[in-house]
C-alpha cells in the first residue's frame, strides 16, 4: 500500500485545478490518476475557442486552456500517472487503480478529490426504434474522431439534441465539408448557449427544429435516414408531422450525466437531480475527506467555473488533512419554484469562506422574473432577471456576515418569483 495525503481522480480541467490549489494551499503530497494518455481531459478535443474568458481574460481554445494548467502542474512537480484506471474507491479512502507499469496499485489517501467529469447520454437511453446500424454517434465521440483522429464520421448528418457539443459539431462538420441537414430539439428551447446557436447554426444556415425529435432510425448496415416528427406540449410525437430525412449519420447531443460509478462504490450520497454527489460549502461529499468538483458534481457550461470550483475543493481537501475543517450543524439550502437544484446543498457557517458561491439551474425558461433568496422567512435578495433558462447556469453569492447576523438561521431558500 502506498500513502498519499491527497489523491485526485481524473486529470481534466477539474483535477488539474484541484491539484494546483492543493499545492498552493500548502500540501505537496498529491497524486493525480488519469485514465487517458495525456492530461487535460475533454479539453483536448474541444479545439474551438471561447474558453478562459473569466480566468485569463482572453479567448482560448480547449487545448490551450488545458496546456496552461498542465504546464503549471508540471512546473510545480505534482505527481501524476497516465493510462491509469481507477477501479475502486473505498469509504476508508483506499484508491485502487491499474496501469501497465505499476499493475494493481493501492493508495491509502487522507483525502480524495473526485474529478471524473461526465458522460454523454447514449442512444440506449432514448428508446428510438430501428436497427443498430453504423453511423450513430454521440456528439462527443464524433468530436474525438474529427479533431483527434482526423476521421469524418459521415457526409450527410442529422443532429438530435441542441446541447453545446452538438452545436459545435454542426459547425465543425460543415467546415470539413459535410452537409448538416438539421438539428432537432425536443424542447421548445435550446439547451445550448445563444452564442453557439448564432455562430454554429445561423452562420451556416443550419435549421434548428425546436419541438422536434427523431422517432425512427432507418438502415441495417449503415444509417440511411431518420424519421423526424414534431412533438406536442407533452413531448409526444404527432404522427401527422412525420418527415423522412435522408442521412448517413445521426449525432446525439442529448445531455451529459456526471460519471459517478466510483463515487457510488465509496457510498457517497448522490443527488437525484444533478446525478452528482451531495456536497456542502467545502465541496465535501457525504463521506468526510472525499470532495468533488467539476462536471462529476454537476454539468457546467463554462470551464472557468469548473476550475474555480475545483480550486475550492483543493483548498478544503488541504484543510481537511490538517484537521481544520469543522463538523457541526449545517444550514440547508432549499431550491424551490423553478430552481431545480443548488450546489452546494448545505452550508456550515464555521467553514464558509467570506462569500459562498451557490450555483444552480432553473427548470424552465422565465422572462422578467426575480431570483429571490430567503433566510428562513426573511427575503434578503430579490434580483430582477430579464431571462432565466435551463441552458445557462446561474449563481448567487452568499456573504458570510449573513450567518454572523443570524445565529439561529436554519434554512436558506432560493426560488424564482414572478414579482
Binding site for another protein (CB under 8 A): 44, 47-49, 59-61, 63-64, 67, 146-150, 175-176, 193-195, 197-199, 202-203, 386-387, 389, 391-392
Query: Smallest distance, Å, CB 47 to another protein?
Result: 4
- Closer residue to another protein, CB minimum distance, 59 or 246: 59
Q: Which is nearer to another protein, 155 or 220 (CB)?
A: 155
Q: 112 or 201: whose CB is closer to another protein?
A: 201
Q: Which residues pair with 292 in a beta bridge?
A: 114
**Phi and psi, residue 115, nearest 5°:** -140, 55
Shortest CB 45 distance to another protein, Å: 9
Question: CB of 369: closest distance to another protein in angstroms?
Answer: 13
**Residue 386, class by beta-carbon neighbours within 10 Å (0-12 exposed, 13-18 middle, 19+ buried)?**
exposed
Q: What phi-psi label fits residue 150: left (phi over 0), alpha (psi between -120 and 50 degrees) or beta? A: left
Contact 243, 228 (CB under 8 A): yes
For the CB of residue 56, give the shortest distance to another protein in the complex, in Å.
Answer: 14
User: Would you say 216 and 128 are in contact if contact means Cβ atoms under 8 Å apart?
Assistant: yes
Q: Minimum CB separation from another protein for residue 320, in Å?
A: 35
Compare residues 44 and 413 and give the one whose CB is closer to another protein: 44
Calculate the dihedral angle through the C-alpha atoms of 86, 42, 312, 324, rounding to the nearest 10 degrees: 10
- What residues contact 65, with CB distance under 8 A and at least 6 apart? 13, 43, 51, 52, 55, 56, 303
Kindly tell me which of 78 and 168 has the beta carbon lying closer to another protein: 168
Give the residue with the Cβ less far from another protein, 98 or 365.
365
In the bound state with another protein, the residue whose beta carbon lies nearer, of 89 and 197, is: 197
CB of 170 to another protein, least distance (A): 14
Please state the closest distance from residue 147 (CB atom) to another protein, in A. 6
d(Cα 21, Cα 411) in Å, to the nearest integer? 30
> 111 near 198, Cβ under 8 Å?
no
Q: H/E element holding 304?
A: helix 303-321
Q: Residue 280 corresponds to which cell in the numbers above?
A: 456542502
Whether 395 and 309 have beta carbons less than 8 Å apart is answered as: no
Amino acid at each position: 500500500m502506498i500513502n498519499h495525503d491527497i489523491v485526485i481522480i481524473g486529470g481534466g480541467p477539474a483535477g488539474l485545478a484541484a491539484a494546483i490549489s492543493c499545492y498552493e494551499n500548502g500540501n505537496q503530497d498529491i497524486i493525480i490518476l488519469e485514465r487517458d494518455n495525456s492530461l487535460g481531459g475533454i479539453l483536448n478535443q474541444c479545439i474551438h475557442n471561447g474558453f478562459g474568458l473569466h480566468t485569463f481574460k482572453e479567448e482560448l481554445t480547449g487545448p490551450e486552456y488545458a496546456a496552461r494548467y498542465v504546464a503549471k502542474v508540471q512546473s510545480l512537480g505534482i505527481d501524476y500517472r497516465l493510462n491509469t484506471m481507477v477501479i475502486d474507491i473505498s469509504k476508508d479512502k483506499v484508491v485502487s487503480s491499474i496501469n501497465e507499469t505499476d499493475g494493481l496499485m493501492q493508495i491509502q489517501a487522507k483525502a480524495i478529490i473526485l474529478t471524473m467529469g461526465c458522460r454523454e447520454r447514449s442512444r440506449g437511453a432514448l428508446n428510438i426504434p430501428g436497427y443498430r446500424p453504423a453511423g450513430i454517434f454521440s456528439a462527443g465521440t464524433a468530436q474525438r474522431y474529427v479533431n483527434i483522429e482526423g476521421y469524418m464520421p459521415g457526409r450527410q448528418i442529422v443532429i438530435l439534441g441542441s446541447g453545446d457539443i452538438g452545436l459545435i459539431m454542426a459547425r465543425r462538420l460543415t467546415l470539413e465539408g459535410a452537409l448538416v441537414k438539421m438539428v432537432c430539439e425536443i424542447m421548445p428551447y435550446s439547451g445550448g448557449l445563444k452564442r453557439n446557436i448564432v455562430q454554429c447554426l445561423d452562420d451556416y444556415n443550419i435549421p434548428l427544429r425546436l419541438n422536434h425529435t427523431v422517432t425512427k432510425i432507418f438502415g441495417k448496415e449503415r444509417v440511411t435516414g431518420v424519421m423526424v416528427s414534431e412533438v406536442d406540449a407533452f413531448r409526444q410525437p404527432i404522427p401527422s408531422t412525420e418527415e423522412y430525412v435522408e442521412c448517413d449519420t445521426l449525432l446525439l447531443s442529448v445531455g451529459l450525466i456526471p460519471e459517478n460509478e466510483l463515487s457510488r462504490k465509496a457510498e457517497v450520497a448522490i443527488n437525484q437531480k444533478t446525478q452528482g454527489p451531495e456536497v456542502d460549502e467545502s465541496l465535501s461529499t457525504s463521506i468526510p475527506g472525499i470532495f468533488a468538483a467539476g462536471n462529476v458534481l454537476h454539468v457546467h457550461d463554462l470551464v472557468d467555473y469548473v476550475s474555480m470550483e475545483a480550486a475550492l475543493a483543493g483548498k478544503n481537501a488541504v484543510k481537511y488533512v490538517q484537521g481544520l475543517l469543522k463538523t457541526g450543524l449545517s444550514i440547508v439550502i432549499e431550491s424551490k419554484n423553478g430552481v431545480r437544484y443548488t450546489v452546494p446543498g448545505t452550508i456550515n457557517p464555521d467553514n464558509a469562506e467570506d462569500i459562498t458561491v451557490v450555483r444552480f439551474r432553473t427548470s424552465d425558461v422565465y422572462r422578467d422574473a426575480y431570483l429571490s433568496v430567503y433566510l428562513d422567512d426573511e427575503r434578503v435578495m430579490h434580483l430582477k432577471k430579464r431571462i432565466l433558462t435551463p441552458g445557462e447556469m446561474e449563481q448567487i453569492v452568499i456573504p458570510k456576515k449573513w450567518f454572523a447576523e443570524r445565529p439561529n438561521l436554519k434554512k436558506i431558500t432560493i426560488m424564482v418569483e414572478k414579482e
